[in-house]
Amino acid sequence: MAEIKILKNIMDENLSQAAKNRQWFRSRKILALNLIASPGAGKTTFLEQTIKGLFPKFKLAVIEGDITGDHDARRIEALGVPVVQINTEGGCHLDAHMIDSVLSSLDLTGLKYLFIENVGNLVCPAEFDLGEELKVVVLSTPEGHDKPAKYPLIFSEAQAVIINKTDLLQAVDFDIDKAEHDIRRLNPNVPIFRLSCKTGEGLDKWLQWLTSQGTENS
Ligand SMILES: Nc1nc2c(ncn2[C@@H]2O[C@H](COP(=O)(O)OP(=O)(O)O)[C@@H](O)[C@H]2O)c(=O)[nH]1
Ligand SMILES: [Mg+2]
Average of per-residue pLDDT values in the chain: 95
Backbone φ and ψ for 14, nearest 5 degrees, come out as: -65, -45
Please tell me the predicted confidence (pLDDT) of residue 217.
44
Residue 41 Cβ < 6 Å to ligand 1: yes
Count CA atoms closer than 13 A to 59's CA, side-chain side. 10
Output the CA 88–ligand 2 centroid distance in Å. Answer: 14
Rounded Cα–Cα distance for residues 19 and 27 (Å): 12
* Buried-exposed string 39-78: b where 16+ CB fall within 10 A, e elsewhere: eebbbbbbbbbbbebbeeeebbbbbbbbeeeeebbebbee
Fold of 2-211: Rossmann fold (3.40.50)
Rounded Cα–Cα distance for residues 130 and 149 (Å): 24
Output the CA 6–ligand 2 centroid distance in Å. Answer: 31
Q: What stretches in the chain show pLDDT beneath 70?
A: 1-2, 215-218
Please tell me the predicted confidence (pLDDT) of residue 215.
62
Residue 40 Cβ < 6 Å to ligand 1: yes
- The DSSP secondary-structure symbol of 180 reads H
Q: Which atom of ligand 1 is nearest to the CA of 37?
A: 20
- The DSSP secondary-structure symbol of 187 reads S
Output the CA 197–ligand 1 centroid distance in Å. Answer: 7
Please tell me the predicted confidence (pLDDT) of residue 218.
45
Residue 43 Cβ < 6 Å to ligand 1: yes
Please tell me the predicted confidence (pLDDT) of residue 1.
61
Rounded Cα–Cα distance for residues 83 and 86 (Å): 10
Sheet holding 192-194, edge to edge: 83-87, 60-66, 113-117, 31-37, 134-140, 160-164, 192-194
